[in-house]
């Protein structure tokens, strides 16, 4: 069990972004198309965080053309180039799954002013 922890600690990123529930973030993702690769930005609200350690993931939701899109990103994946924080959200829940049922301004999250 000790060797498993050593391997997982070695593959973790040193600079982990502090992503919290309700934050609006821009996730820069490496997309590989054939032999070329590019970076695509996915901006949305963090609605969930799961697990911990090397297998930690966070779910980002955005609405594009009236359709809700959710993507799950592993925090320590080499595919995730960087995570930019746009704004902090003021929330009182650990999971914001209720945003899936809301439309328009009802799905907005207030900004934390501290």
Answer whether residue 88 is part of any domain: yes
- Element (DSSP H or E) covering residue 7: helix 2-10
Token pair for 5: 């922890």
Query: Which domain range does residue 81 map to?
Result: 2-106
Burial label for 99, CB within 10 Å (0-12, 13-18, 19+), is buried
Split into its structural domains, the chain has a count of 1
- Provide the pLDDT for residue 46: 97
The owner of tokens 């592993």 is 74
Encode pLDDT of 43-65 as tens digits. Answer: 999 999 999 888 899 999 999 99
CATH number of the domain that residue 16 is part of: 2.30.30.790
Answer whether residue 114 is part of any domain: no
- Provide the pLDDT for residue 100: 95
- Provide the pLDDT for residue 8: 79
């Amino acid at each position: 069990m000790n060797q498993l922890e050593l391997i997982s600690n070695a593959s973790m990123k040193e600079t982990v972004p502090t992503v919290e529930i309700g934050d609006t973030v821009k996730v820069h993702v490496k997309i590989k198309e054939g032999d070329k690769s590019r970076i695509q930005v996915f901006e949305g609200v963090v609605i969930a965080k799961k697990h911990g350690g090397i297998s930690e993931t966070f779910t980002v939701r955005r609405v594009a053309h009236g359709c809700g899109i959710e993507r799950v990103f592993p925090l320590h994946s080499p595919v995730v180039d960087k995570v930019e924080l746009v704004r902090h959200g003021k929330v009182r829940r650990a999971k914001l799954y209720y945003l899936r049922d809301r439309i328009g301004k009802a799905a907005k999250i207030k900004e934390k002013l501290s």
